Amino acid sequence: MPNTTPDIPLSSFQLQSRSLEAVWHPCTQMKQHEIYPLVPIVSGKGVWLYDAAGERYLDAISSWWVNLFGHTHPYINAAIRDQLEKIEHVMLAGFTHEPVVSLSERLKQMAPGSLGHCFYASDGASAIEIALKMSFHYWQLYDQPQKSRFISLQNDYHGETLGALSVTDIAIFRETYAPLLRQCAHVPTPDWRYAEAGESPESYAIRAAASLEHYLAENHAQTAALILEPLVQGATGMGMYHPIYLQRAREICTQYQVHLIADEIAVGFGRTGTLLACNQVNIAPDFLCLSKGLSGGYLPLSVVMTTDPIFQAFYDDKTARAFLHSHSHTGNALACRAALATLDLIEQNQVIEANKAKAAYLNKIAVPLLAHPKVKNFRNCGMIWAFEVDTDERDFAAKCFQAGLKQQLVLRPLEKTIYFMPPYIINEQEMDLLVNGTLQVLDTISN
Ligand SMILES: *Cc1c(COP(=O)(O)O)cnc(C)c1O
């Protein structure tokens, strides 16, 4: 039996212990739950999650960055209910349905360049696998089989299936699973925290792009694609970089005939202040991967969008020239309806504009946070905020999570990085609570 704190009511306690017996939780050393209790959530409304004891927690990280408009949103709920009465799911090979067609058309309208062909999967990592396979297969079809390698940025994260993990740069993952992974070069990150003293984020990004060019000048003949997280490198600690890097990366990839895969799984749908991060420099990648916010965080859904030339390369009489890939739930109708409702909400509420005012408010009230002696590298991009906490506290992330709950906040630091990535519906009062609660949390953390 796990230890638990005495103030947890019995029903919560039972749910916790049953969960620990039967559920293997993700991204978790299960033994840690001998010390830290699980939080049994029974309902959600707006930015709030409610536990079995009636306590509420502000979902400051949008349930792992998926939620855009809060929990149990009436409009998205209604769309899913309506779809539920029509058709919940049908396989997408040989069949089609209105939600998947409408969603594809709307995504095509929204995306830059000629990214008009939508290939669906269920989660982010699967979208990455698809983009990598498609890029590789494209070069095969063009009699360039030697173009079979991928490169990504130092500190990039693209998911945890084997292909996605190969292009992910997280030391602990790589070391543990190295024998299963394909070799992948990671070119220097443009993250401005790596800049020399006195070097601007822009100059540093230009310097990082020069390293990319240097690498591709030598290795383009073997390289199928560069994959990157545009503007914000999320999972490795919310590293942020100057958009000039994206512009340079696009130019360099075009020059050296290497595909550019933009992994906007975390940053798409307004997170960075524009609908897509790529919009900030008006570039179009060859592949665009979307998931997380795509369905408003409701249902697992992802999509890879690609261009006419790539689609055309596979268009042939021979089966082997088709793209050889499928998932059972490809294009799930309920998930597509949730996505359509999400796109409606983005448009109807002029979310990109509204978020600018919210971000300005949060930046204004965050001044004491910036000034806090333990806070370093405070940074903001659109609806993402992050900073490092100067502490030697072992187990900082777990302790901070616990201290956050006591302040009614869901904070889940990435090592020493605390970040906010709230649902877009957060209001001023809730932002006050977020900032003030975080200040309290910092004061409970010892040096
Ligand atoms: C979350 C994430 C993924 C993986 O998505 P999953 O749905 O968790 O498989 C890939 N890339 C980025 C940038 C992500 O943030």
Instruction: Pick the atom of ligand 1 nearest to 302's CA.
Output: 7
Greater model confidence, 364 or 4: 364
User: Where would I find the H helices in 86-159?
Assistant: 98-110, 124-141
Q: Does residue 353 have a pLDDT over 50?
A: yes
Nearest CA to ligand 1 atom 12: 158
Model confidence, pTM: 0.97
Atom in ligand 1 nearest the alpha carbon of residue 126: 9
Residue 6 has pLDDT above 60, yes or no: no
Counting from 1 in the atom list of ligand 1, the atom nearest the Cα of 234 is 15
Compute CA distances 319 → 132, 156, 271, 276, whole Å: 20, 34, 39, 34
Please compute the mean of the pLDDT values over residues 428-437 and round it to a whole number: 98
Q: Is the dihedral of CA 296, 71, 274, 154 positive or negative?
A: negative
Same domain? 171 vs 206: yes
**Best mutation site among 61, 157, 267 for ligand 1, i.e. most ligand atoms within 8 A of its Cβ?**
157
Is 312 a residue whose pLDDT tops 60? yes
User: How far is the C-alpha of 264 from the C-alpha of 57, rounded, in Å?
Assistant: 27
Residues 21 and 157 placed together within one structural domain of the fold? no
Whole-number Å distance, alpha carbon 194 to ligand 1 midpoint, is: 24
Q: Are 167 and 136 in contact (CB under 8 A)?
A: no
The torsion angles phi and psi of 193, rounded to 5 degrees, stand at -65, -15
Report the pLDDT averaged over residues 210-220: 98
Query: What's the CA gap between 66 and 297, in Å, rounded?
Result: 4
Range of the domain at 103: 78-348
397 C-alpha vs ligand 1 centroid, how far in Å? Answer: 20
CA 447 to ligand 1 centroid distance, Å: 33
**Domain assignment present for 195:** yes
Can you give the pLDDT at residue 342? 98
Per the domain annotation, does 387 fall within a domain?
no
For residues 137 and 167, membership in a common domain is answered with yes
174 — phi, psi (to 5°)?
A: -65, -45
CB contact at 8 A, 79 and 337: yes
Are residues 130 and 157 both part of a single domain? Answer: yes
Q: Which atom of ligand 1 is nearest to the CA of 264?
A: 13
Mean pLDDT of 306-310: 97
Average pLDDT over residues 88-94: 97
Among 348, 365, 393, identify where a domain stops: 348
Q: How far is the CA of 126 from the centre of ligand 1 (A)?
A: 9
Determine the residue of 160, 261, 291 to mutate for testing ligand 1's pocket, defined as the one with the most ligand atoms within 8 A of the Cβ atom.
291
pLDDT at 4 over 90: no
State how far the alpha carbon of 294 is from the alpha carbons of 98, 224, 243, 344, 417, in Å: 17, 27, 23, 12, 26
128-173 confidence digits (pLDDT tens) = 999 999 999 999 999 999 999 999 999 999 999 999 999 999 999 9
Percent of the chain scoring above 90 in pLDDT: 93
Closest CA to 249 of 206, 193, 217, 280: 206
Contact 294, 269 (CB under 8 A): yes
Q: Let me know whether 213 and 313 are in one domain.
A: yes
Same domain, 278 and 298: yes
Mean pLDDT of 280-296: 98
Name the pLDDT band for 5 (thresholds 50, 70, 90).
low
Return the residue whose CA atom lies nearest to atom 11 of ligand 1: 158
Distance 123 CA to ligand 1 centre (A): 8
Q: Are 4 and 139 in a shared domain?
A: no
Q: What pLDDT, on the 0 to 100 scale, is given for residue 9?
A: 66
Q: How far is the CA of 8 from the centre of ligand 1 (A)?
A: 33
State the average pLDDT for the chain. 96
Q: What is the CATH number of the domain that holds 259?
A: 3.40.640.10
Answer yes or no: do 100 and 201 share one domain: yes
pLDDT band at 440 (very low <50, low <70, confident <90, very high): very high
Q: C-alpha dihedral over 260, 265, 271, 274, to 10 degrees?
A: 40
Nearest protein Cα to ligand 1, atom 15: 266
415 located within any domain: no
319: number of Cβ within 10 Å: 7
- Predicted pLDDT of residue 174: 86
How would residue 1 be classed by pLDDT, with cut points 50, 70 and 90? very low
Pocket around ligand 1 at a 6 A CB cut-off: 123-125, 128, 157-159, 229, 234-235, 263, 265-266, 291
Q: Which pLDDT value is given to residue 196?
A: 98
Whole-angstrom distance, CA of residue 216 vs CA of residue 214: 6
Q: What is the 206 CA–ligand 1 centroid distance (Å)?
A: 26
Do both 68 and 82 map to the same domain? no
Is residue 81 predicted with pLDDT exceeding 50? Answer: yes
242 Cα: distance to centroid of ligand 1 (angstroms) = 21
Q: What residue owns the CA closest to ligand 1's atom 7?
A: 124
> What number is the average pLDDT over the span 397-417?
97
Which residue owns the Cα nearest ligand 1 atom 6?
124
Instruction: Render pLDDT for 366-384 as a digit per residue (tens, 0 to 9).
Output: 999 999 999 999 999 999 9
**pLDDT of amino acid 445:** 84
Pocket test for ligand 1, best of 229, 292, 304, 421 (most atoms within 8 A of CB): 292
Q: What is the CA radius of gyration of the chain?
A: 22
Q: Which of 15, 41, 72 is the last residue of a domain?
A: 72
Closest Cα to atom 10, ligand 1: which residue? 158
Lowest mean pLDDT across 5-19, 101-115, 180-194, 247-261:
5-19
Greater pLDDT, 189 or 52:
189
Q: Look at residue 447 in the predicted model and tell me its pLDDT.
A: 64
Task: Indicate whether 133 and 237 sit together in one domain.
Answer: yes
| CA 235 to ligand 1 centroid distance, Å | 8
User: Which residue of 153, 158, 161 sits with most ligand 1 atoms within 8 Å of its CB, as the best mutation to test the pocket?
Assistant: 158
Q: Which long-range contacts (CB under 8 A, 24 or more apart) does 188-196 make?
A: 188/153, 188/154, 188/212, 189/153, 189/154, 189/155, 189/156, 189/233, 189/239, 189/241, 190/153, 190/241, 190/242, 190/245, 191/155, 191/233, 191/239, 191/240, 191/241, 192/240, 192/241, 192/242, 193/239, 193/377
Residue 127 Cα, ligand 1 centroid: separation in angstroms? Answer: 9
Confidence (pLDDT) at 421 = 98
In the chain, the number of structural domains is 2
